[in-house]
Structure 1
Amino acid sequence: MTAAQPPRATLRTLDEIKTYLAESPQPIFYISRSATNLLGVDRVVGGFRYVTLSDSWDGAHPNAFAPTNVPKLEPRGNLNVVNWLLANDQVQAYIRRSTPAGYTPQVVISMFDEESERLCRELGYELIMPPVRLRERLDSKIVTTQIGNDAGAQSVPNILTTVSGWDDLREQAAAAGLGDDLVVQLPYGDSGRTTFFVTSQADFDRVAGEISGGGSAAPEIKVMRRINHRSFAADAVITRAGTVVGPVLREITGHPELTQYKGGWAGSELYPGLISEQTRQRAVSLVQRFSDRLAEEGYRGTLGIDLLVDTDSGEVYLGELNPRITGSASHSNLQGLSTTPATGREATDAQTTLPMFAYHVLEYSGADFELDLDEIQAERGRALDGQTWSTLVIQHQRPATERTDVAPRTGRYRIGAGGSLEFLSPDLDWQEIDEPDEAFWFRSSGPGEIVSRGVDIGMLITRRRSQEEHHALNAETKRLIPSLLGKYEGKRLPTIQLYWRAGLRRLRGE
């Protein structure tokens, strides 16, 4: 099977790019546990499809597929889910019948490994993502810092080092002028689990085995000065015609109502006055400099960058690189409606701004194109500036492992008194939610599935702010979370079944 020919003419305008993406028969399959992060991309990319472990729409989405032969001991973890889906006969059959003659299926995956790459090669799929080896190297917080330094995208004052103990850490930090209040990061891993705050020997002793090797070879670590800051994030897409930068978002992290991990990511929000225009421009410039340098490493396509803004000095710092489709992608792929500057009236559907991931698809399409980056940023600004959006990832909160009996449907809800949620309609995505008293619930775990504490069950999208200025969840959000969780009903798994599942998982290496 060979890929069909891209258009011969160079795509020069946004309208030409939009028409090409909408009309191209090229099939693209997003393979994931849930479609959350790229929901709505199929509105503007004609060949886009979702292949997921379970059906979040109860059969209503024309561009989605979920196999029916999922075993009782379902695959767990992003990598296991993806590889199981790739190897599944029903999934392979769906991809074959959804691929026009003469086209090679293109595959999009957020988290994947060498096994995923091997399966794609053997099945004749084109995996349109940066390769695993490159992603793994760039994913290191050490490498990210070094590349950022080279690009003039500075991190919070830091040293990259190894330490033998508490006294060694203090001496090195003092020599670098980092002070006594330190943040220590390991090269790899979720920040909620691999970032440590160290101000005393007692703090150090609690994590010494991880940051000083515990008697074995000490890992290289990043030691930073602890600053007063606000956390932001921005997605970007690196193309041969330059880097497209998405909206600067405020991250929602560490709230125990949403995540069991201190510092764990649980969503993002966008609202007027989120960040000053001067700071936003500095953040966008930093992302562009860093991304342009990343392109020299061979990276193409989508990525996410965490940013830190020092609330004392106003300095914008590079935080972390996420060389993949990020959780913030759901926000970055909001399309919105462009407005006509002279009238302020909403434009037609044909003028909706492109979701960020559309530029990733364009980069891997084989088409020749030019991008007017200033025009793209202006268009996205007209479409999204002044809007308020929040995305909240909700986790199963009850301590017992349960099999779900009842789960709220994917769709539009009305927010009532006390945070009550009334189902309105089974919408496919959240792009048309336009009132603050409406919400969209995207269910990623449904009836019949087994959930335990900390497992994501879905995402709640609202046209409201979720956090106060001082970071705490606001009262409205605190009412919405239990309201949503209260719509789930399940039965606790018997102890013998828990042991059986745990034993089989150990045998399977999960």
Structure 2
Amino acid sequence: MTTAPPASDPRSPEPAAPLVTAAEIRAHLRDSPQPVFYLSRSATNLVGLDRWVGGFHYVTLSDSWDGAHPRSFTPTNIPAIEPRGNVNVANWLLGNDQVQAYIASRTPAGYRPQIVLAMFDETSERLCAQLGYDLIMPSVALRTRLDSKIVTTQLGDEAGAASVPNLLTTITGWEDLRAQAEQAGLGERLVIQLAYGDSGRTTYFVASKTDFDRIANEIVGPRIKAMRHIEHLPLAAEAVITRAGTVVGPVLREITGHPELTAYRGGWSGSEMYPGLVDDGTRHRIGSLIERFCGRLAEEGYRGILEVSILLDTDTGEVYLGELNPRISGSSAHSNLTPGDTTPPLFAYHLLEYSGREFSLDLDAIRAEREAALAGQEWSTLVIQYPGPHVDRIVASPGTGRYRIIDGAAGLVFVDAERDWQGLADGEDAFWFRAIGDGDICGPGVDAGMLVIRARAQEEHYALTPLVKRLIPAVQSAYRGERIGTITRYWRAGVRVLREKLGR
């Protein structure tokens, strides 16, 4: 179970006064001795939180900063066959003796360590409980239930946050699907989703029996969501549900389905924001829909960070609820942009919710301040994959830091090993945050890191911009690997599977 620390300094007999003003909240986040540890393969999604939260630490499997960050820790006893998968990485880190020692050494007397995880399971919850850590995330059971696209649609309907016209149903075959779709008025072109899974892998586009036959084994039998196909703008926004209301992050345009970035049709590869993405009226309608939906989630007991995808019908202007990601998401890099020195990153409100302190929020003022701080700015985050084509041990990789964008094939020139991208001044700079570095084992499709630029990534018609098309291979070409032989590769895979089954 997730728990919150005491509502006051444990060494003080008097309860702490509620936090009322924005300045008080900022000061509390900065000065509180409460330690918070983010455990992940890399720190990508929450980079920059340490600027605002005095007790925030990164504990990662891969050190993106090469030892230069004072509040980042990577254990030295990582096995030759390293854990794979976000959940396995989190559980391995939780069980690691060096990680436990690091956490203990940075936890003041009278405090319990707070743990932040993007992906976790029941084992993670059990480990945290056994170690005396507070996992300050919604429970696995709640996240799993809400993560269902079926449940999301149902709760959205109850909250007045409608999805694209759809059926929640089961089908026996092509004729059954067509009969149900015709009765519901969904049209000839359908989008079909399974209850669980990444949208790029469990979302199917069906306009003919040929389309259906290719995926029949996946969608016949289980409960599915069958939607009308619409021409839409794919948008997303993160939000934080607190006892004082919901704080909504910036509206983002998703970067999906580009073969230069992902092998999956509809697969997510980043986000962008820019002036004119949506008009003020649409932005407010999106914010209102998210707030209504989050109010319903709060009734289910959800607290903290989540991401909501939004579909904007480009023919009618209608705003629809898409999917729910009840976790830290890829959008977090944008949500935690903090231009100026008065606008906290969105995830700071998650930490505030789990701080144990009483507080109030002026949601209108927070919204206005965030919109003003980001007005007129262009930002894009691009998740770039290792190009392969083989499974390699990395022997050279581009370091984390600021780069200068230049003309020509090289594309990027290293400038400075900065810790995060908040200081990017203009469109001539870029920031590369490395997730895979020297010595790591990497193959095609593995995320190598995130590139951040102060420019748009996509044209109006969804094609990547010429700049981005040039920068992707520039990053990938900076990686060099030595191929791992087939026998070694399969031996490693077999040992890893066996170890994970044994829980070691």
TM-score by length of 2: 0.96
Contact 2:383 2:449 in 1 (8 A): yes
1:160 aligns with 2:163: no
Alignment partner, residue 497 of structure 2: 506
Aligned equivalent of 1:320, options 318, 323, 339 = 323
Alignment partner, residue 299 of structure 2: 296
Runs of 4 or more above 4 Å deviation: none
CA distance in 2, matches of 1:43, 1:438: 21
Aligned equivalent of 2:423, options 419, 428, 432 = 432
Contact 1:402 1:492 in 2 (8 A): yes
CA distance in 2, matches of 1:239, 1:271: 28
1:233 aligns with 2:236: yes
SS of alignment partner, residue 393 of structure 1: strand
CA RMSD in angstroms, aligned pairs only:
1.1
SS of alignment partner, residue 417 of structure 1: coil
SS of alignment partner, residue 364 of structure 2: helix
CA distance in 1, matches of 2:225, 2:263: 24
Alignment partner, residue 398 of structure 1: 388
Contact 2:255 2:268 in 1 (8 A): yes
Amino acid at match of 2:475: L
Describe how 1:71-470 pairs up with structure 2 within 5 A. Answer: 71-212=79-220, 218-337=221-340, 349=341, 351=342, 353-418=343-408, 420-470=411-461
SS of alignment partner, residue 293 of structure 2: helix
CA distance in 2, matches of 1:465, 1:298: 37
SS of alignment partner, residue 93 of structure 2: helix
Alignment partner, residue 52 of structure 2: 44
Could you tell me which runs of 5 or more consecutive residues in structure 2 were left unpaired when the two chains were aligned. 10-14
How far did residue 507 of structure 1 move?
2.1
Amino acid at match of 1:366: G
How far did residue 3 of structure 1 move?
4.4
Amino acid at match of 2:54: G
How far did residue 399 of structure 1 move?
1.5
Contact 1:408 1:488 in 2 (8 A): yes
Contact 2:393 2:439 in 1 (8 A): yes
Amino acid at match of 1:383: A
The total of aligned residue pairs comes to 491
Deviations 1:241-267 (A, max 9, x none): 000000000000111111111111100
Deviations 1:88-110 (A, max 9, x none): 00000000001011110000001
- Percent identity over the alignment is 64
CA distance in 2, matches of 1:506, 1:130: 28
SS of alignment partner, residue 473 of structure 2: helix
CA distance in 2, matches of 1:256, 1:397: 12
CA distance in 2, matches of 1:234, 1:500: 42
Deviations 1:457-484 (A, max 9, x none): 1000010111000111011100000011
Amino acid at match of 1:448: G
How far did residue 509 of structure 1 move?
4.7
Could you tell me which runs of 5 or more consecutive residues in structure 1 were left unpaired when the two chains were aligned. 213-217, 338-348
Contact 1:3 1:102 in 2 (8 A): no
Deviations 1:418-439 (A, max 9, x none): 3611111110011111111001
How far did residue 496 of structure 1 move?
1.8
SS of alignment partner, residue 306 of structure 2: strand
CA distance in 2, matches of 1:202, 1:509: 39
